[in-house]
Amino acid sequence: MSDKTPAFLPSATPPTWLGVMGGGQLGRMFVHAAQMMGFKVAVLEPAKDCPAGHAADHLICAGYGDEQALGELAGQCVAVTTEFENVPAQSMARLADHCFVAPNAACVSVAQSRIEEKRFFTDNAQASGVLPAPHKTIASLQDIEDIADDLLPGILKTVRMGYDGKGQVRVKTREDVRAAFEKMGNVTCLLEKMLPLAYEVSVLAARGHNGASVVYPIAENVHRDGILFTTTVPGPNVTAECARKAQDAALVLIERLGYVGVLCIEFFVLQDGSLVVNEMAPRPHNSGHYTIDACVTSQFAQQARAMARLPLGDVRQHSPAVMLNILGDVWFEGEGNAAREPAWDAVLALPGANLHLYGKDDPRRGRKMGHVTFVAPTLAEAQDSLRQACAILGIPL
């Protein structure tokens, strides 16, 4: 697509509509960003009571493969995106027959399969300078017998539908693999070698329809029980060389993928300082929420720009930031089952606190309910506010 391809400019009469497949909190934050730019947003989601649906200008309540609903969304919108990677790729392809889709079905399909994802990373390793962890497909009992000794201990992951630590089991022996494989229903899995991890980082990159790309400051992430706990930018452990290598790799991979929109790529930094590419998400990402409060252009506004074929926005970070994920656990004291509202007033009294709740009215332990981003003149000040917020909310550090 050339630079001369017309942009979808926001208009009030008639309104310019953008579409989102999926009704979760990422869709909700995209809706807010797109509406601020003057667009109207339609959301296609099976659940009527959903975070994105509460904010959208129009909710199409139907399954992601519903032909009539897909036709309605494509007919109303000039461009459509997805807010999570498990929307069927064939639905994205169906939409592309009638409107601009970013990212396209092929890109989404690669990210939906750990096997295809690892193959993409491996095939482009010479250009990107990074490789994935050693791995092996496990589709049968014979595959388990054929596991090389140096691939264990490892992590057995389902090839599809795994996220936030779900569909993953740590294994030390072939017997462990066999038991985990059986427990997962003998579905095709990927065994990844466990590496000496120092810390984890993620890179947000965005690419426009004309091939122009930008990359955000690198984020250092801490996970608990497979769920993102904090994101710190700039990362206290990230060296300039590590940041450059990860950002350069992300720009190569997003170009090789032929991607349009915001893409998050997660990396492992090993104890010897080397970089290993882990996985990617074809959408804005939890670790990119800091961009709402700390960057000139948020990841959600960037997604709207890319979809609408507008120039990509400035990715400069104007303040150090620490993002704290808020799970449903903070609604409960100890092991009790009686929910009560957390002390948001005390959290908001902290310097640089920006509270984002996702409109979910059913707090459950382990469920993502919101996040707080702390911005400050210095990283130390942002981290101090984080520590105080954790004390208020009863979150152990």
Pick from 20, 26, 62: nearest CA to 41: 20
Nearest to 223 by CA among 295, 308, 164: 164
Give the amino acid at 148.
A
Q: Is residue 122 within 8 Å of 62, Cβ to Cβ?
A: no
Domain assignment of residue 259, yes or no: yes
Q: Does 255 carry a binding-site annotation?
A: no
Lowest-pLDDT range of 24-38, 41-55, 152-166, 335-349:
152-166
Residue 22 marked in a binding site: no
pLDDT confidence bin for 119, thresholds 50/70/90: very high
| Span 60-77, average pLDDT | 98
- % of the chain beyond a pLDDT of 70: 98
Residues across the chain: 397
Q: Is 85 among the annotated ligand-binding positions?
A: no
pLDDT at 3: 59
For residues 162 and 256, membership in a common domain is answered with no
pLDDT of residue 351: 97
Closest among 273, 127, 264, 135 to 199, alpha carbons compared: 273
Task: Tell whether 150 and 176 lie within a shared domain.
Answer: yes
Numbers of helices and strands, H then E, in the chain: 14, 18
Tell me, yes or no, whether 341 and 281 share the same domain: yes
- Is the Cβ–Cβ distance between 63 and 73 less than 8 Å? no
Q: Are residues 145 and 201 in the same domain?
A: no
Q: Please report the pLDDT score of residue 264 as a whole number.
A: 98
pLDDT band of residue 164 (cuts 50, 70, 90) is low
Q: Is 315 in contact with 216 (CB distance < 8 Å)? A: yes
Q: How far apart are CA 180 and CA 195, in angstroms?
A: 20
Q: Given this model, what pLDDT does residue 2 score?
A: 46
- pLDDT value at residue 4: 72
Q: What is the DSSP letter of 15?
A: B
- 1: pLDDT strictly greater than 50: no
**What pLDDT sits at residue 161?**
72
Whole-number percent of the chain with pLDDT over 90 = 93
39 assigned to some structural domain: yes
162 annotated as a binding-site residue: yes
Query: Count of domains in the chain?
Result: 3
User: Looking at this protein, which amino acid is placed at residue 127?
Assistant: A
Q: Of 125, 159, 193, which marks where a domain is finished?
A: 193
- Among 193, 217, 241, the domain-final residue is 193
Tokens coding 356: 């984002």
Task: Using the Cα atoms of residue 167, residue 45, residue 23 and residue 297 in order, give the sign of their dihedral.
Answer: positive
165 is in an annotated binding site: yes
Residues 249, 353, single domain; the answer is yes
Tokens of 368: 């993502």
Q: What is the CATH number of the domain that holds 271?
A: 3.30.470.20
The phi and psi torsions of 55 (rounded to 5 degrees) equal -100, -20
In a domain, 81, yes or no: yes
Cβ–Cβ under 8 Å, residues 80 and 95: yes
Strand runs (DSSP E) across 89-146, as ranges?
Answer: 100-101, 135-138
For residue 274, the enclosing domain spans 197-393
* Same domain, yes or no: 259 and 380: yes
Confidence of residue 335 (pLDDT cuts 50, 70, 90): confident
Say what the pLDDT of residue 191 is. Answer: 97
State the pLDDT at residue 226.
87
Final residue belonging to a domain, choices 169, 193, 217: 193
Q: Tell me, yes or no, whether 157 and 173 share the same domain.
A: yes
Residue 333 assigned ligand-binding role: no
- On whether 157 is known to bind a ligand per the annotation, the reply is yes
The backbone torsions φ and ψ at residue 299, rounded to the nearest 5 degrees and listed phi first, read -60, -30
What does the alpha-carbon distance between residue 374 and residue 365 come to, in Å, rounded to a whole number? Answer: 23
In a domain, 185, yes or no: yes
Q: Residue 100 — φ and ψ, nearest 5°?
A: -75, 130
Question: Is 167 among the annotated ligand-binding positions?
Answer: yes
Is 111 within a domain? no
In a shared domain, residues 218 and 332: yes
Report yes or no on 10 lying in a domain. no
Averaged pLDDT of the chain: 95
Domain CATH for 66: 3.40.50.20
How far are the Cα atoms of 40, 62, 89, 249 from residue 53, in angstroms, in the given order? 13, 12, 22, 35
Structure confidence by residue, pLDDT tens digits, 243-270: 999 999 999 999 999 999 999 999 999 9
Residue 268 within a domain: yes
Residues 43, 97, single domain; the answer is yes
Q: Is 195 annotated as a binding residue?
A: yes
Winning range, highest mean pLDDT, from 83-97, 164-178, 308-322: 308-322
pTM above 0.85, yes or no: yes
Q: Report yes or no on 227 lying in a domain.
A: yes
59 and 178 in a common domain: no
- Lowest pLDDT segment from 26-30, 303-307, 358-362, 368-372: 358-362
User: Do 170 and 215 fall into the same domain?
Assistant: no
Residue 343 has a pLDDT of: 97
Q: Are residues 225 and 365 in the same domain?
A: yes
